[in-house]
Amino acid sequence: MLYEPSLLKSHESNKRRIALNLQYDGLSFCGWQKQSKGVSVQSVLEEAISSLDPLRPIKAVAAGRTDARVHAAAQVVHFDACGPIPPESWPSVLNSRLPNTIRVIEAAGRPFTWHACYSAIYRRYRYTIYNGCNPNLFLAPWCWHRYQYRLDDCRMRLAMEGLIGSHDFAAFQRSGSSRAHSRTTIQEVDLDRVGDLLVLEIQASGFLYGMVRLLVGQLVAVGEHRLSLEEFESRWKERRREDVKEAAPAHGLCLLRVGYEEQLFSKVGLTESFPRFLLDSTNPPRDPLS
């Protein structure tokens, strides 16, 4: 859709900020952010918006930059538009132009002082581990199949307790980060076992580059009795990044939701927009202590 310059100028007075709540299957993309190689969620979304609105170039800003193969159940994005489409109509018109691997759930108008990333007060991620011996075709895209040992979830919970609060988590930050510092505040951690599935959730004011995957890799080492509780704590408190070498695979991770001072969407608080899988434990892995 092309617009004459005179029409574009007349639309400027109608410019407004739109917030989106969207889901995507991370396996289909090289991550949220546009890359020189690969298809990103940002590039596909911006192309769809640009086909509908005269304001160009369109820039979509996300609450969190998920990596390649990381999923999102309730990513929050904003962009500025000046066309005639009202906020509540953006989901239907965008979904008709987006691939099935991206779905816009809701949209809302916001003031220009509001920012999808900087206005957020927390992000919450979920990591799912399938701890059964036998492979499961239907769980494979969403879980890390860690089958060698039965994970000791009690030890993993003990390791997680000390993470609460504001700390320097440089040990869990991948190289290449543009952040000025590596401090952040972890607000809540939770780990549940449901049969052969372990579901870890972590909520923080913000996350370092690669933080959750590096943390999960260390917790699995604790759960397999390859890393002591004392050594786990020593590594992150002493910021020994060189000792943190195992990262959990990306496809087990999902951005569950993003929180703001005021609720933007009616469905953004539904944590089960990314399902908890249910299994019976009928064939547990061998115990490393037996």
Q: In the prediction, which pLDDT does 2 show? A: 47
217-270 residue pLDDT tens: 999 999 999 999 999 999 999 999 999 999 999 999 999 999 999 988 886 545
The contacts of residue 170 (CB under 8 Å, 6+ apart) are: 182, 208, 239, 241
**pLDDT confidence tier of residue 284, bands split at 50, 70 and 90:** low
192 or 278, higher pLDDT: 192
Q: From the candidates 53, 67, 80, 280, give the one annotated as an active-site residue.
A: 67
Gap between the terminal Cα atoms of the chain: 67
* pLDDT single digits (tens) 79-132: 999 999 999 999 999 999 999 999 999 999 999 999 999 999 999 999 999 999
Longest Cα pair distance anywhere in the chain, in angstroms?
77
Question: From CA 249, how far away is CA 16, in angstroms rounded?
Answer: 39
Confidence (pTM): 0.89
Q: Where are the domains of the chain?
A: 11-110, 122-264
Give the residue ranges of DSSP H helices in the chain.
5-11, 41-50, 90-95, 153-161, 211-223, 229-237
The stretch 34-40 carries a mean pLDDT of 92
Please state at what angle helix 153-161 crosses helix 229-237, rounded to 10 degrees.
30
Please, what CATH class does the domain formed by 11-110 belong to? Answer: alpha beta
CATH topology of domain 122-264: Alpha-Beta Plaits (3.30.70)
139 pLDDT above the threshold of 60: yes
Residue with tokens 């993993």, as numbered in its chain? 156
**How far apart are the C-alpha atoms of 235 and 218, rounded to whole Å?**
10
CA distance 5 to 9: 6
Q: Which residue has the tokens 């040992």?
A: 149
* CATH topology agreement for domains 11-110 and 122-264: yes
67 catalytic? Reply is yes
Tokens 């703001």 locate to 260
